[in-house]
Amino acid sequence: MYGFQHLPSQQQQRIWVYSNANRPANGFQPWTKPPGISFVHIICIGAGGGGSSSAIWQTGVQRAGGGGGGSGGLTTVLLPAYLVPDTLYVNIGVGGAGGASTNTTTANAGVVGTATYVTYYPAQTAGYILCVGSGGGAGSAAGAAGLGGSAQTTTSLPISQIGLRNYLVGHNGQNGGSTAAPATLTAVYRISGGGGGGGNTAANAVQSGSGIDMAGDYALQRILRQPAGSDGAKIENLIQFLSSGGTGASSSTTISGSTGGDGGFGSGGGGGSVGPGLGGAGGRGGDGLVIITCG
- First-to-last alpha carbon distance for the chain, in angstroms, is 11
Q: What is the per-residue pLDDT for 168?
A: 67
Q: What is the per-residue pLDDT for 4?
A: 34
Judge whether 4 lies within some domain.
no
Q: What is the per-residue pLDDT for 2?
A: 32
Q: Give the pLDDT means over successive 10-residue stretches in the chain (295 positions).
A: 38 79 88 92 94 91 89 89 92 97 94 94 84 92 85 71 69 48 60 87 84 60 65 78 87 90 93 92 96 93
Q: Output the furthest CA–CA distance in the chain (Å, rounded).
A: 76
C-alpha–C-alpha distance, residues 109 and 98, integer Å: 7
Judge whether 255 lies within some domain.
yes
Model pTM?
Answer: 0.88
What is the separation of C-alpha 163 from the centre of its chain, rounded to a whole number of angstroms?
Answer: 26
Judge whether 227 lies within some domain.
yes
Quote the domain boundaries for residue 233.
9-295
The total number of structural domains that make up the chain: 1
Torsion of CA 118, 124, 130, 132, to 10 degrees: 70
C-alpha–C-alpha distance, residues 227 and 252, integer Å: 9
C-alpha–C-alpha distance, residues 145 and 250, integer Å: 16
Q: What is the per-residue pLDDT for 221?
A: 54
Judge whether 2 lies within some domain.
no
Interior angle at CA 136, CA 100 and CA 164, nearest 5: 160
Q: What is the per-residue pLDDT for 170?
A: 61
- Assign 83 to helix, strand or coil: helix
Judge whether 180 lies within some domain.
yes
Q: Report the DSSP beta bridge partners of residue 235.
A: none
Judge whether 191 lies within some domain.
yes
